[in-house]
Amino acid sequence: MSKQKSSEKDIIASLDRLPAREEIYENLQKKFGSLAEYYGFELIFTPPIEHYRQYLPLIRGGYMDERIPVQCRCRPGSDYVLRVSGILSALRAYISHKMSDGPQPVKLVFEGDVFFAESKREDAIKSRYECGLLIAGEEGPVAAAEIVQIFWKILDGIGVDLRELELRVNAIGCASCYPSFRSSLASYFRSRASRLCRSCRKAAKSHPVRALSCADEKCKMFAKHAPQVLDFLCDQCKKQLRGFLEFLDELKVPYYLDPRFFRDGLWFNTLIFEFSGKAKEKPVSAVAVEGGGAEDVAGGDNNDVSAEEHEGAIVIGEGGGCTKAAELLSGKRVEAVGFELYIDRLIMFLSRRRLVDSKKPMVFLTHLGDLAKRKSLALMETLRGGGIEVKESLGRDSIKSQLKLAEKAEAKFALIMGQKEALDDTIIVREVGSGIQETIPQEKLIEFLKAKLKK
């Protein structure tokens, strides 16, 4: 096999999700979907492929610089791209199926893999598994706040410690006010180009907002005194931001307004927001501004949160206004707000916090002899039906190796069904850690385990 071929193979293999991980994914995705449905969002499935032609205006407008679409074709002239964003695909579906003709807004929940490259020069394909929400046919503070609120609740429902989360928000302007901010920022950085780092010097020309979040000490200093977007917002954008913050205050969702927060090179406009898991070493109270921001919107220097305080935090989801993106996709005005939750990042965050326990089975079912093996199957179903997380190794016959597996799986209890227990419908419950065991009737098992596991 040639060298190039093996690296191609690695790219694809790196996108595989292996069984152990898949279990966590499935669990999170199910919870996410059912909570979103509870809040009135309807599930939509879109194919993992889109028309390249339809994405061209977004690509040309620089709205996909951060996520470069992966192109594919089956014959010359028929070009496709792999799904780049669940928001964009759900928006495309809203447009294709003329959902704007029905009652508005349309609330959709979606999930699936997205694929993209981070640079035009790179071969490596990145993939992410996303769950997300789209409100189409309505834009503005209410829709954005509703999405934030639902995510807040969903993350709570998934088991995330909300004190460990940060919600960062900003208004990045619209087609009428952003250009003047951008040119003012560009000339600010251009006149200081010689003292900026190399990448900021380059960014000053094409993407000046990127220089606002540079980690370089000197650049940080310049970023601190750079023109602020809040001073450039048009009345409409100001009103949107004020409304958004007022809603968040009312919902008691803590946030911080970071005027140097942008998502340049993505499809968001007007309002943007991002959930991230706090950096491990950072004190819990460091940044979150609990309410109180709304009256300061146009004020300027009040929320002095710099981008560097964001370092080390894991961004687990981001969203914002998508009206501009919808317009570029469809050629007409479609108001929309969307949000994407990156499941991989959420898992990374949860596992860092050791919050994901669902992977560990509570009990491990073992058997001794053929009759016990047959009866184990039925018992396993009963346990699962009773809400007990159970693992087994029916393929193995040695009780010693089964108990070893129970230990390896970090199960709390091993259930042992031998010939005698299989005959008189009892079971031995053995605490894996201590080895203490007792025999109880099978019909009382669920009740017994539930009481034990509560402790």
- Minimum distance, C-beta of residue 169 to Zn ion, in the bound complex (Å): 16
Which of 139, 135, 138, 141 minimizes the C-alpha distance to 243? 141
**Which strand ranges, in their side-by-side order, compose the sheet holding 413-417?**
390-392, 363-367, 413-417, 426-431, 437-441
Please report, for the chain, how many H helices and E strands are present, in that order: 15, 16
Dist CA 309 CA 278 (whole Å) = 10
Q: Nearest distance from residue 77's CB to Zn ion, in Å?
A: 39
Distance separating alpha carbons of residues 79 and 74, to the nearest angstrom? 8
Name the minimum Å distance from CB 238 to Zn ion: 8
Q: Which residue has the tokens 């898992």?
A: 347
CA distance 39 to 144: 14
Cβ-based nearer residue to Zn ion, 48 or 61? 61
Measured from the CB atom, the residue of 126 and 202 that comes closer to Zn ion is 202
**Cα 120 from chain centre:** 24
The yes or no reply on residue 172 touching Zn ion (CB under 5 A) is: no
**Of the residues 200, 253, 415, 416, which one makes contact with Zn ion according to CB under 5 A:** 200
Stretch that binds Zn ion, among 38-46, 165-173, 182-190, 224-232 (CB under 5 A): 165-173
**Smallest gap from residue 182 Cβ to Zn ion (A):** 12
User: Where in 72-101 is the site for Zn ion (CB under 5 A)?
Assistant: none
Sign of the Cα torsion 175, 341, 283, 200 reads negative
Pinpoint the alpha helices (H) of 166-216: 178-190, 198-206
**Beta strand residue intervals within 278-380, DSSP E:** 314-321, 336-342, 363-367
59 near Zn ion (CB under 5 A): no
Q: How far is the CB of 199 from Zn ion (least distance, A)?
A: 6
Residue burial 357-390, b: 16+ Cβ < 10 Å; e: rest: eeeebbbbbbbbbeebbebbeebbeebeeeebbb
- As measured in angstroms, the least distance from the Cβ of 298 to Zn ion is 13
Q: Under the criterion CB under 5 A, does residue 197 sit at the interface with Zn ion?
A: yes
Shortest Cβ 222–Zn ion spacing (Å): 8
Task: Return the DSSP state at 288.
Answer: -
Please report how close the Cβ of residue 61 comes to Zn ion at its closest, in angstroms: 17
For 138, left (φ over 0), alpha (ψ -120 to 50), or beta?
Answer: beta
Nearer to Zn ion among residue 174 and residue 372 (C-beta): 174
Integer CA distances (angstroms), 17 to 14, 21, 299, in order: 8, 6, 47
Report the residue number, 140 or 173, with the smaller CB distance to Zn ion.
173
Listed residue (55, 149, 146, 47) closest to 105, CA to CA: 146
When asked if residue 174 is in the footprint of Zn ion (CB under 5 A), the reply is yes
Size of the site for Zn ion (CB under 5 A): 10
Residue 175 or 453: the one with the smaller Cβ distance to Zn ion is 175
Nearer to Zn ion, 214 or 416 (CB): 214
- Shortest distance in whole angstroms from residue 268 CB to Zn ion: 14
Window contacting Zn ion (CB under 5 A); options: 107-115, 176-184, 283-291, 428-436? 176-184
Of the candidate spans 50-58, 151-159, 195-203, 300-308, the one that interacts with Zn ion by CB under 5 A turns out to be: 195-203
What's CA 375's distance to the chain center, in Å?
42
**Residue 177 interacting with Zn ion (CB under 5 A):** yes
Which of residues 65 and 113 has its CB atom nearest to Zn ion in the complex? 65
Nearer to Zn ion, 198 or 454 (CB): 198
CB of 152 to Zn ion, least distance (A): 26
306 counts as binding Zn ion under rule CB under 5 A: no
Nearest approach, Cβ of residue 175 and Zn ion (Å): 8
| CA atoms of 415 and 445, how far apart (whole Å) | 10
Looking at the Cβ atoms of 68 and 200, the one nearer to Zn ion is: 200
* DSSP 8-state secondary structure symbol assigned to residue 118: S
CB of 181 to Zn ion, least distance (A): 9
Strand 79-82: give its sheet, edge to edge. Answer: 49-51, 79-82, 71-73
Residue with Cβ nearer Zn ion (58 or 196): 196
Of 170-178, 307-315, 422-430, 432-440, the segment contacting Zn ion by CB under 5 A is 170-178
| 3-state SS, residue 197 | coil
What DSSP state is assigned to residue 267?
S
- Angle, helix 323-330 to helix 86-96, in steps of 10 degrees: 50
Q: Which stretch binds Zn ion (CB under 5 A): 82-90, 131-139, 174-182, 341-349?
A: 174-182
Q: Interface with Zn ion by CB under 5 A: which range of 9-17, 109-117, 189-197, 422-430?
A: 189-197
Span 210-269, contacts to Zn ion by CB under 5 A: 214, 216, 219, 234, 237
68 part of the interface to Zn ion, by CB under 5 A: no
Q: Which residues bind Zn ion (CB under 5 A)?
A: 173-174, 177, 197, 200, 214, 216, 219, 234, 237
